[in-house]
């Protein structure tokens, strides 16, 4: 056969073979699954930063409130519900446990209804100074927990 005759009998390329098509579909499917998995992880955790910031703000506010109280124990009246308005020294906060975030007067803050707070104040020694109290403020929201630890020394007596 002459080369011209062979050229006439050759078929023009028609596209992909079945095997090439299956391989292409598998590769595209795996790539798309990876992208969707990454997208799902990003959207699922998109609110976490805001929740962590809110938890930190609540914990820092309570820590500052506690650290500003006098170190020496003083007699006080028991507060009602989650109020802290009768607390007059650092040790009064030990065992505080509120199912929601409350103002100092005991009024629950509706925007923070999903958050819970607990406080522990224990006598401790910090670098040889025995007149100190270790303050642990724990804020929870669902399965998220933030723990803030601070210290208060008897520097003002």
The rounded distance, in Å, linking the Cα atoms of 132 and 155 is 9
Q: Does this model's pTM top 0.95? A: no
Of residues 39 and 59, the one with the higher pLDDT is 59
Q: How confident is the model at residue 46 (pLDDT cuts 50, 70, 90)?
A: low
Q: Domain residue spans in the chain?
A: 49-153
DSSP of 69-119, one letter per residue? Answer: S-SS----PPPSTT--TT--SGGGGTT-EESS-B-TTS-B-GGGTTEEEEE
Condensed to tens digits (0 to 9), the pLDDT of residues 133-155 reads 999 999 999 889 999 999 999 87
In the numeric block, which tokens belong to residue 51? 């929740």
Instruction: Tell me what percent of the residues of the chain surpass a pLDDT of 70.
Output: 88
pLDDT at 140: 95
Across 45-66, average pLDDT: 88
């Amino acid at each position: 056969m002459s080369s011209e005759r062979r050229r006439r009998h050759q078929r023009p390329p028609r596209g992909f073979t079945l095997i090439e098509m299956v391989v292409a579909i598998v590769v595209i499917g795996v790539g798309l699954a990876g992208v969707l998995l990454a997208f799902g992880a990003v959207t699922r955790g998109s609110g976490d930063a805001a929740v962590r910031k809110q938890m930190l703000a609540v914990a820092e506010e309570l820590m500052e409130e506690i650290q500003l109280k006098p170190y020496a124990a003083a007699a006080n009246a028991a507060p009602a519900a989650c109020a802290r308005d009768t607390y007059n020294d650092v040790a009064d906060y030990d065992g505080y446990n509120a199912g929601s975030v409350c103002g100092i007067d005991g009024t629950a803050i509706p925007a923070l209804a999903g958050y819970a707070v607990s406080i522990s104040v224990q006598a401790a020694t910090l670098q040889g100074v025995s007149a100190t109290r270790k303050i642990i403020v724990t804020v929870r929201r669902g399965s998220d927990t933030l723990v803030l630890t601070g210290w208060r020394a008897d520097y003002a007596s």
